[in-house]
Structure formats: C-alpha cells, structure tokens
Structure 1
C-alpha cells in the first residue's frame, strides 16, 4: 500500500468538494451521473488529485477490450470479503471518471478500477497499483482506437518494470506480449474465442502457429506461457491444482473466464478462491447487462456487444432458435463512428432466429445481414420490433449507446 494516512491537502479537499458539487448539479439537470464532469473539474483544481486519492488504497486496475466492467465488479465483490472497496462500478473509466469514483469514498481499503485501454499506463503511474488485470485486446472503435498491436506496445512500455502483480490472460498473444515486460506476472488460461487480431506475432511479425489451444511463433520462439490458474469447464483451477466450482448468475463462457481472472486477483490480496467465487454469485447484472426486463408484456434480455469479439461471445450465450433476436447498432461518439467492423462479425451464427433490426445504423446492419443470408426485418424502433417478434423471450443485442437508449426506453 502506497503513501501514508495523511489527510488530503486543503487544495485536494477543495477540488473534491467542487467536483462533487458539479456532479450533483449535472445529475439534477438530468445529464447523467455527473461523474466525468465532476472529475474533470476536480483534476483542473488539483492535477495530482488521482494520485492523492489512491495513496491509501490497495489498488487493482482492470483493462481489456471486452469484459472490463463485469470483471471489475466481480473483483470488487470478491475483495469485499477482506475490507471496504471503492470502485468505478458504472464504467466511467478515464482519469476524470476514476477520480470521481475514488473521491466518493474515504474509508475504503481497496480500490478496484476499470481503466480504458488507452489510459492504462498513465493511470498506473498515478495510482501505484498492487495488481493489474489484463484480459484481452481486440479491434474496437476503428475510427479512433489505435491498431491493437500499437495498444499492446503502449501497455508493454507503460508497464515495463512495474512493481504491480500483473494477472494476464495466457491465451491472448497480444496480452502476453504486453505483460512480458513486467517482472511479476501470474498467467491465467482464460481462453480466447476471437483470434482474428493475433495471427501475426506481436514480437517479430511472423505467422502465429495455433495448434489446439496452444500458440507460438515459428520464427522467433515467442510462445504461450504456462498458466498457473485456468478456467476448466465450470471450475477454476488454482496454482495447487485444486478445482473450485464457479457459480455465477451471469451467463456464458466469457463470464466464467472473467471469474477465473477475478479469482486470481483476489488471491493476490489473500482472499481464497472458494470465498472469492462464492461472493461473485451476488452479481446478477452489470450496469443493465444481462438484465431480463418486462416490456410490452414481453420478457427482454438486454445484452451488450460493442465489437466483433464481443458479438462472437454474445452469440454463444443466446437461447437457441427460434428465439427472436433484436439487434441495435448506433455509431455515435462513444461507439466509434466507423461501422466497418460489422463485416468482421459472423452473423451466420444467427441462422434460424427471427431477426429484427433497429438503431441509428440499422441500414448498415441490414446490408451486412443480407450478405450473410439472414432473414430479418428492419423496424422503426424497439416498440415496433417487439410487436412484430414471435412469442417467447426476446434477446436484445446492442452496442454501447444503442444499449443506453434501450435501457431508457424499457425503464431499466
């Protein structure tokens, strides 16, 4: 744990108070949670505030393209077994949102912080984390995110020589390359369904060989490290070879993988796997994801999928055909305005499902589904799609701002 128990400086206290006031005003005006604007104001008044707020916390950072928010929530639940936790549970994951979250708690022992991939190195410098969890890297927000290997390089340079324990996914070559610059890494075999961003070696550019679940570069010898933790079916295998059952209310293989990584993080802080995994059962939904809501006399399950890797995982957990599926895609600032990633998603996996398409970019999605030979109907809005859907629970899959629109419409 960094720093000492000195209270915040007068300047820092003023910054925290001003940030909270601005956040409250933003909430009162109906402009969202206010966490980002509040954090921005606080950091303007005291640029070192994030470091000051983190100095008395045992900090864990969580970064990835997919699964950050859920894994942050699972780790936070597990660590509550050992003491009070502060976390940016709503997913505001850039420095302003993180500062806001930490300013909201003065008695926490642990800070569990989701960090946007592009900001990881800087936030790690400011917060002196005890642990950093790296889950995966894949293409996302093509108009503004760096190419995945450049992001991996950014992580590799930013974390080189870090004192933190790095808990990293041994099955993602980009993550392994990024984490390998750190002296203290715990490898987790968490799996990787999406492989299309790691066919060339991040170290030398050679072609990656992928026999079974293994991977290696035939040219430079860069290879999958031996994991000490592993996801095995419905169990987590710990470094002693013991198998611990995973009981989650969250669906799908991806969330079991998130639980495996979270158990490895919890162990860094002395929370045993059995306790950690039992506490993760409390999590039913994460910021609306996986919630089943009643709308127009129908059950709708809300699923978030922001990029090709996320859509692939989501397709694997929806109910089988002929369950109706509503797809909604926007391309606003928070989504990335480039929708060419739709062509990287294998929509043939939806064959047999009645499909209904809504959202700002419904026509982009319609063209993609047409090429994938899927049967679908373009609808004006969610209400029309629900009216047209055949009986049964409806799976609703949306990208980021489309998901927020849906939550507002169904009152979630």
Structure 2
C-alpha cells in the first residue's frame, strides 16, 4: 500500500485550506460545488500542489471524448475492493477540479482521476500515474477542441516518456496511434460504434481498411493491435481466456465497454475481474446520467449526449416508439458554441417517436430535424414539453449545460 512519506509543506497546507474556504463560499452563494474555484485558488498559492497531493497515491487517469465520467466511477468502485479511493466523481476534470478532488484524499490509497482530453499530457507529467485508461477519440466542441488527429498526436507525444501502464481501446485507430508510443500498453477490444472520425490512417493519412471487426492501413502497415482483454457481448474475456459476465444497472453497449476497460484497470492493481464487476453493479447513475426522475407526475429518464458519437450511442438506449423524446441543446462555453455537429447526427433513428425540442439552440435543432423529415414540436421549456408529451415514460436527451439545466428544473 502506498504511504504518505512526503507530508504537505506549510505552503501546500495553506493552499488546501484557502481552496476549501473558496469552495465553501461558492457553494454558500449557490454557484455550484465550488471545486473549480477552490482548485484555482489553491493552485495560485502553490502551483506544485497537484503533484504534492498525488505523491502518496496510486493514480489512475481516465481520458476520452465519451465515457470518462462513467468509467472513472466504475474503476473507483472496483478499486475500493483493495483500499480507499479519492476521485473527481462529479466530472470536474481540468487541473483546478482535479486538485480540489485530491485535496480531500489524504487517507486514500488510489486516486482515480477523469482528465479532460486537452489536459491529459500535462496532468500525466504532474501526478506520475501508475495507469492511464484511454477509451475513444471523436469530434467534440469544434470551436475550441483540437482536431482529433492533432489531439491523438499530442497524446502520443505526451505518453512517449511516461512509465505508466496504458490501458487502451485497440478498436479505435486514433487511440491505438496515441497509445502505441507508450512502452507498456494493455490493449482492450472495447469496440467502436462511431467510425466517422477514424477512416484515415492516423500514422500516414492513407485510407483504413475495415474488414469485419479489424482495421489496418494497406499503405504503411499500421494495424489494430492484438487485444489481451475483450468485450464479447455481455461478457469480458480476460488474458487467460476466461469469460466474466457483465451485470450493470447502467444501460447500453457503451457502458459494457466502459466496464471491460475498468476490469482491465482493476486487474492491473490486483482486483480479480469477478470482484471488480460485482462492485460495478452497485453503480446506478453517474452525476445524474441515466436517472429516472418524477416530474409533473411523469417519469423522465435523463440521458447525456454531447457530440455525434454520444448521440449515436444514446439512440440505442431509448425505449422503442411511440415513447416520447425530449431533445435539448445549448451552445454555451462548456458545450462549445459551434452547433454544426448537429448535422453529423443521424436523427432519422428517432422516426416514430413523438419529439419535443427545447434548449437555447432549439431552432438550430429544429432545422436539422426538419431536414431529416421528422415530426416534432418546438417548446419553450421542459414544463411545456412534458405537458404536451403523450403518455408513457419520457426519454430526455440533452447536451452538457442543457443537461445541467434540466437537472436543476426537475429537482435531481
């Protein structure tokens, strides 16, 4: 077990105390959890605080375009079989939020940390992780995020000298390219439903060949690595060929993939797959995602989808027609202000559902649905949409800030 042989310096202790005070003040005035402002204050007082706080922990970093928060939660639950865990469970995944989370983990053995894609290399330098889980890369927040190939290149450069074991999805060519610079990789066949950002070879730019579940570049020879772990239907197959059933309360294929990666991470720290997967069953919702809430005498299931790949996976979760669906899209800073990604989503999959459209950019979404030939109604807010929806449970799909708005409105 890791021990805290390097106690915090007086400056670091002051920074932690000041950060907690700032976070408490933020909560008191209703500005949210305070984790980001608390971390910013703490890092301003001690720029090396993140490294100091992580010094006694076995750190696991988790990064991806989709599934970071859920996978972080699943890994944390699995590793609690071996010791106390500190984690940024609510998804504050930039250095300030990570610092706030670790400040509360002085007695922990493990630090399971979700990291925003753009900050992965820097955080990996600061906290000396034992493991890094890489799930997927796809287009997201086009106005401020790097193009996916550029992001993969930054990861590749950042991981080249890192001693952490990288647990990576071999079915995503961008992830395989990013991780293959690492000297120590555990490959997981976790699948890839969205392929539209990975048709060209990240190594040479040639066209990738995709026979069945394989992929390779006929021009430079870059190809899918051989996995040692694999998602196979409702089971995860370990390096010994043993198949372990995945039983989750979280819905969908994507969460089975998250569980497969999480089992591989847990095994790296000595937690057997059976134990890890049993503990993952305890996770019912993640930061409000997948929650079913009661609002205006109706059941609403809250689903988060932030980008084309995420919407594709979410469409596979919803109940069949004629289940009513509410769609909400914003384009604030945390969402990315460019809504052109709406045109990459196959909204035709919603045919037959009564559709209700809300959110800051409801008219942008309405144009997209009109072109898709779907029947829908534009509503002013969630109250109106729920009031107009026909009977039955309502599926509510929203991007990031729209999801937060909905959670506040429906009392979750």
Task: Give TM-score, length-normalised by structure 1.
Answer: 0.99
Which residue does 1:263 correspond to in 2? 263
Count, aligned residues = 412
Q: Check the 8 A contact 2:81/2:275 in 1, yes or no.
A: yes
Q: Check the 8 A contact 1:2/1:55 in 2, yes or no.
A: no
Which residue does 1:153 correspond to in 2? 153
Which residue does 1:359 correspond to in 2? 359
Matched residue of 1:23: which SS? helix
Which residue does 1:396 correspond to in 2? 396
TM alignment of 1:11-410, pairs within 5 A? 11-410=11-410
In 2, distance between residues paired with 1:355 and 1:226? 43
Note the C-alpha offset of 1:161. 2.7
In 1, distance between residues paired with 2:97 and 2:173? 30
Q: Check the 8 A contact 1:237/1:244 in 2, yes or no.
A: yes
In 2, distance between residues paired with 1:93 and 1:161? 23
Deviations for 1:344-386, whole angstroms, at most 9, x for unmatched residues?
A: 0000000111100000000000000011111101011101111
Matched residue of 1:132: which SS? strand
Deviations for 1:49-82, whole angstroms, at most 9, x for unmatched residues?
A: 0000001000000000000000000000000000
In 1, distance between residues paired with 2:286 and 2:246? 18
Matched residue of 2:367: which SS? helix
In 2, distance between residues paired with 1:6 and 1:271? 27
In 1, distance between residues paired with 2:374 and 2:136? 30
Note the C-alpha offset of 1:105. 1.8
Matched residue of 2:356: which SS? strand
Structure 2: 5+ residue stretches without partners:
none
Note the C-alpha offset of 1:4. 5.4
In 2, distance between residues paired with 1:2 and 1:224? 35
Q: Check the 8 A contact 1:62/1:113 in 2, yes or no.
A: yes
In 1, distance between residues paired with 2:178 and 2:210? 19
Deviations for 1:263-312, whole angstroms, at most 9, x for unmatched residues?
A: 00000100000000000001000000000000000000000000000000
In 1, distance between residues paired with 2:253 and 2:317? 8
In 1, distance between residues paired with 2:322 and 2:183? 50
Note the C-alpha offset of 1:3. 8.6
Deviations for 1:229-269, whole angstroms, at most 9, x for unmatched residues?
A: 00001000000000000010000000000000000000010
Note the C-alpha offset of 1:342. 0.1
Q: Check the 8 A contact 1:246/1:277 in 2, yes or no.
A: yes
Note the C-alpha offset of 1:2. 8.1
Matched residue of 2:150: which SS? helix
In 2, distance between residues paired with 1:216 and 1:108? 42
In 2, distance between residues paired with 1:188 and 1:345? 27
Matched residue of 1:192: which SS? coil
Which residue does 2:10 correspond to in 1? 10
Matched residue of 2:405: which SS? helix
Q: Check the 8 A contact 1:327/1:358 in 2, yes or no.
A: yes
In 1, distance between residues paired with 2:235 and 2:352? 32
In 2, distance between residues paired with 1:34 and 1:148? 31
Note the C-alpha offset of 1:390. 0.7
In 2, distance between residues paired with 1:347 and 1:218? 33
In 1, distance between residues paired with 2:29 and 2:40? 18
Q: Check the 8 A contact 2:2/2:109 in 1, yes or no.
A: no
Q: Check the 8 A contact 1:2/1:128 in 2, yes or no.
A: no
Q: Check the 8 A contact 2:20/2:38 in 1, yes or no.
A: yes
In 2, distance between residues paired with 1:93 and 1:315? 26
